[in-house]
Amino acid sequence: MAVQPTLRLTCTIAVLLCSAWTDLAQAQEPNAERAYSVTPRADLAEQVARHYHDRNQPVRAINWAERMVRSPGATAEQGAWAAKLRAQLKWKLGDLGFGEVRIAVRPGHAAVTVDGKDILPRVAQHVVWLSEGAHLVAADASDFAPTEVGVNVVRNEKASADLVLVSTKAPVVVVHAVPECDVLVDDKLVGTSRQRRFAIPAGSRKLLFRADGHLPQVREMTLVAGEEYAVEARLQRAVPEGDRPKVSVVERDVTELERAEVGESGPNIAHAPDVDSPLDGKRNARVNVSREIGGGTVGGARKAGVEASARVSPPALAPSGGSPAAVSVGAASGDPSAPMSVRTKGLLLAVPGLLAMGGGAAYVVLSANAAEKVNQGLPYGDPNYDAAYDRAAKGALIGYGVLGGGALLTGAGGWYLLGEGGLGKQGRGVLLTGTGLATAGVGTWMYLGATSVLASAAEFPSAHPEYQRRVDLGIRDTRYAQVAMGAGGVVALLGAWQLVTAPKSTAEAAPDPSVLSWSLLPVVGARQTGAALRLAW
């Protein structure tokens, strides 16, 4: 009878000890979690993960293992254990109705929550396992607008959530200006360049830098919140008032030559706002024009709305007291809005054309050498002979195509260079002679190659198909070579003729130094209208 109470007492003590041990373990674990929430460390996360793994709680175990590998102080051994745990629990978690969610957040220090629960540590990448269904992922950080995104989790499948927070801080513009100047944003003064750093609202802004005695500078910028921009401004000194050319006003009669040269409808000197009466061909007009004292340019005020841009080419000097011999009006070379010159157009076309011709000829040479290696290295009838020879032939055809395209570009450029407003006679002679000699040289090289191909045909019987193919190829190349040599010879002769006749055709008689002559030239431009008086003795 005494044994039975003793047995009951022993069992009671054992149950109490097990319960105390369990309570102690459960009490220790919340302490580790609380410590991790204060100072995230890999060892604390590992302790919590192993605790839940030992108690067969796979979801908590894998989530804490993912935290562990992203916590400060994580080791390679901890990463290997987390990978092993992930491989063990992956399918089990899927059977339980969970899925993997990868969260990317920018900036990386933002606080991330899933369904209102914090996800630590604060890093740019997180991996959590969530139950099947809809979840809400949110992120927040100081100086950034909070954001959130919904995620629909499907068991055994991966999902992702990308959160990019928009900065609420105003963009900063760092100004480096010489000399020190005022800084205006959208025409409002915000300070001087000595301040250097300016917080400016985001969006499209106009920055103006101004200083006494200097020309202002304007910058159009699109500013993004949270970004920093560096702006350099170097203000140019303005011309002092005393250094500007003085202007005097003179009057003179519009000549018959000006009427005949410019016409009634074109831009002429009569369009100036100071014209007393129109140039209608029936009566004379008097024009007020301005002349810069001490300078060579003469011009008056430009009528508003007149967009003609012109310059006056000086004519031959006329005898004293007479009218100017000729007036020619052309595009203003100093105006940035003036059209591209004829010579520039020609060079932009001719130079790439010549380069293409050189490249095409080089490619033809390489292809011909490749064909010669095929002929010498592979006997006819070899399985690789036809394929290798066809590749070489196609390469030569491509080279001829590039050569022809370059010739077209060169011809288009020559149309401009050899036409009116292009090169002079001497320049045309040099261009034509060089192009002709180069073309004739290419033709000579093609002729030599064709001769070699015809000679190689003798290695085969006349009934052999390769004999006929080489003969046809040699005849074709011979014709091409003859055309190239003939055209090159003709072009070279034209260039030589230009060079021979250039000194005689371009010679100009010098004015007699003993005779005083003068010319009065109309000046019509986008910025000025008037007349220029030129004297020579």
Helix axes 76-95, 58-69, angle to 10 degrees: 150
Q: How far apart are CA 369 and CA 373, in angstroms?
A: 6
Percent of the chain with pLDDT over 90: 26
Residue 110 lies in a domain: no
What mean pLDDT, rounded, does the chain reach? 74
Residue 119 lies in a domain: no
pLDDT band at 4 (very low <50, low <70, confident <90, very high): low
pLDDT exceeds cutoff 80 at 119:
yes
Residue 388 and residue 326 share a domain: no
Q: How far apart are CA 328 and CA 350, in angstroms?
A: 29
Judged by DSSP in three states, 258 sits in: helix
Residue 283 and residue 382 share a domain: no
> Is 75 within 8 Å of 42 (Cβ atoms)?
yes
Give bridge partners of residue 173 from the DSSP assignment.
Answer: 198, 229
Residue 122 lies in a domain: no
Residue 106 lies in a domain: no
> Is 190 within 8 Å of 183 (Cβ atoms)?
yes
Residue 493 and residue 367 share a domain: yes
* pLDDT, greater one: 95 or 323: 95
Stretch among 275-284, 382-391, 479-488 having the lowest mean pLDDT: 275-284
Provide the CA 19 distance to its chain's centre, in angstroms.
Answer: 74
Residue 346 and residue 326 share a domain: no
- Domain stops at, among 96, 127, 148: 96
Residue 493 and residue 348 share a domain: yes
Judged by DSSP in three states, 414 sits in: helix
- Domain stops at, among 56, 80, 96: 96
Residue 181 and residue 59 share a domain: no
User: Between vectors from CA 120 to CA 116 and to CA 123, what angle results, nearest 5°?
Assistant: 115
Provide the CA 432 distance to its chain's centre, in angstroms.
Answer: 37
Check residue 467 and give its pLDDT.
79
pTM higher than 0.75? no
Residue 532 lies in a domain: yes
* pLDDT, greater one: 39 or 362: 39
User: Total domain count for the chain?
Assistant: 4
Helix axes 385-417, 425-456, angle to 10 degrees: 160
CA dihedral 301, 303, 305, 311 (to 10 degrees): -70
Residue 240 lies in a domain: no
Residue 399 and residue 488 share a domain: yes
CB under 8 Å to 341, separation ≥6 — which residues? 331, 333, 421
Going by the DSSP 8-state scheme, the letter that residue 317 receives in this structure is: P
Q: What is the CATH number of the domain that holds 222?
A: 2.60.40.1120
Residue 527 and residue 485 share a domain: no
* pLDDT, greater one: 78 or 535: 78
Residue 88 and residue 32 share a domain: yes
Residue 465 and residue 387 share a domain: yes
Residue 8 lies in a domain: no
Residue 354 and residue 498 share a domain: yes
| Strands annotated E in 186-244 | 188-192, 197-199, 203-210, 217-223, 228-234
Q: What's the rounded mean pLDDT across residues 411-432?
A: 73
Residue 465 and residue 362 share a domain: yes
Check residue 184 and give its pLDDT.
95
DSSP letter for each residue of 308-345? ---EEE--PPEETTS--S--EEE--TT-TTSPPPHHHH
pLDDT band at 421 (very low <50, low <70, confident <90, very high): low
Judged by DSSP in three states, 159 sits in: strand
Residue 82 lies in a domain: yes
Q: What is the CATH number of the domain that holds 84?
A: 1.25.40.10
Range of the domain at 500: 342-506
Tokens of 436: 């002709």
Q: How far apart are CA 27 and CA 24, in angstroms?
A: 5
